[in-house]
Amino acid sequence: MKKTQFYILIAAAMCSTLGACSAKLDLYPSTGVSPDAITEKDLPALRLGMYNEVQNAPGAESYILFDLLGGDLHTASGNPIDLINSILSPLNSVIANNWNGYYKAIYQVNNMIAVGERFGSSQARNIALGEAHYFRAYIYYSLITRWGAVPILRQNTLEKVSRNPENEVWDFIEEDLNTAEGLLGTSTNYYYVSRDAATALKARVKLNQGKMGEAAELAESLIKNGKYKLDSFEKIFRKLANTEVIFAFENLSEESSNNISDLFYTYAHTNKGQGKYRVFPDMLNAFSTSDKRRAISIVNISGTDCINKYPSGQTGRDPVILSRIAEMYLISAEAQGRVNGLSRLNELRAVRGLSPVAFGSDTDYLDAIIKERRLEFLGENMRYNDLTRTDKAIQTLHLLPHQTVLPIPGRELQNNTNITPNEGY
């Protein structure tokens, strides 16, 4: 990627923040802002550019890819396995857009880190730098849970890089999150990254690695700190004040192309939508009649069952939630195990209108946790990873063994011979 793109991103951010630019940007680098010329007063504009790039570059389907691959959605012309097989191709545009978008976002984040490290410690610099390390950890978490081993870029480079082993990628993610926690504090609202957001992501990262003791401790620290409390779905997914969200992208219509709702609602809905992905009947039947999540999770529109967590249709954009306290309850429940974690599972179930449960075996308990996560996080990008990380994907989704990771995009393999394909693709 050329440096001119960085100038453009900064200039665009300044236009959005200051409202001082004409309708068309001058794209020549001579009129851009050189990274060496940036001062601390430019950090708010650079931060805005980073938020926009991390949010938008991977595309709307990056936020629901694990739902598309998780067996609960289908297209009008097929069933879930047809959708899964169509996506899991090196030539699929969703795969390519995810890969390219995440690495494009890394480029912007690395520039933010390089700029921030030039300045001495200050509140503005520490917040911007902490957010950048959080975002890089989030991006690499998204990459490793899709493709496994991926190239680590600590700095931007034009070199043809190779894939780093998975253990090195996980270590890199944890390193960035530790740095973020050390730099961040509380935020003005949950649309900005906070120390708690870094802790929540770290709990997820630990769970994915099987570091159960650490995952439980981190999740419990957020449950017990008094800032968050389980809340109703009506508040969480209708942009009302709530005590549940830890961090979300605000996804404002004037600055985002991520219209997730348009992919779910059909044109028969009041707010319209293309209805590309529909809910498979098995998912609808998984909710009990007393489950308070059902109505906000799924809506029937003229005979078609649609995801209902993103209500704007084609009329606007909805927040994209990355972390909320319900996940911490379920991380704690899973990480502590059947004996010590059951109370957290039942606390969540009680708030959602469900009766308590008990289990005679650890296997049954884990199955119940995964089922609860399926109901809680429908449309929130969890399902496929929940099945792959617990070794349940092949049996549950009827996948081939190699389909537990995504294919490297074909064009990436063509352009960089140092990148090796994932086995089986």
Residue 173 lies in a domain: yes
Confidence of residue 34 (pLDDT cuts 50, 70, 90): low
Residue 413 lies in a domain: no
Residue 179 CA to residue 255 CA, distance in Å, equals 29
Backbone angles phi, psi at 223, to 5 degrees: -65, -40
Q: Domain containing 180: what range?
A: 1-61+88-184
Is the same domain home to 205 and 172? no
CB atoms within 10 A of CB 39: 9
Is the same domain home to 275 and 158? no
Number of domains in the chain: 2
Is the same domain home to 313 and 338? yes
Indicate whether 399 pLDDT > 80.
yes
Lowest mean pLDDT among 43-47, 251-255, 274-278, 409-413: 251-255
Residue 400 lies in a domain: no
Is the same domain home to 254 and 167? no
Is the same domain home to 168 and 211? no
pLDDT at 424: 97
Kindly tell me the sign of the dihedral angle through the C-alpha atoms of 255, 258, 259, 260. Answer: negative
pLDDT at 15: 37
Please list, residue by residue across 287-312, b when 16 or more beta carbons sit within 10 angstroms of its beta carbon and e when fewer do: beeebebbebbbbebeebbbbbbbbb
Is the same domain home to 219 and 309? yes
Residue 99 lies in a domain: yes
Residue 7 lies in a domain: yes
Question: At how many degrees (to 10) do helices 166-183 and 123-147 cross?
Answer: 160
pLDDT at 22: 30
Residue 279 lies in a domain: yes
Residue 289 lies in a domain: yes
pLDDT at 6: 37
Percent of the chain at pLDDT exceeding 90: 88
pLDDT at 33: 56
Is the same domain home to 53 and 97? yes
Residue 411 CA to residue 188 CA, distance in Å, equals 41
Q: Is the distance from CB of 130 to CB of 247 less than 8 angstroms? A: no
Confidence of residue 35 (pLDDT cuts 50, 70, 90): low
Picking from 184, 213, 235, the residue at the C-terminal end of a domain is 184
Is the same domain home to 194 and 176? no
Lowest mean pLDDT among 5-14, 15-24, 186-195, 321-330: 15-24
Q: What's the CATH number where 198 sits?
A: 1.25.40.390
Question: At how many degrees (to 10) do helices 93-116 and 43-56 cross?
Answer: 160
Is the same domain home to 346 and 324? yes
Is the same domain home to 171 and 22? yes
Is the same domain home to 345 and 311? yes
Residue 421 lies in a domain: no
Mean pLDDT of 398-425: 97
Picking from 122, 156, 184, the residue at the C-terminal end of a domain is 184
Picking from 184, 207, 227, the residue at the C-terminal end of a domain is 184
Q: 197-209: per-residue pLDDT in tens?
A: 999 999 999 999 9
Indicate whether 309 pLDDT > 50.
yes
Q: What's the CATH number where 140 sits?
A: 1.25.40.890
pLDDT at 254: 79
Is the same domain home to 122 and 267? no
Round the average pLDDT of the chain to a whole number and report it: 92
pLDDT at 112: 96
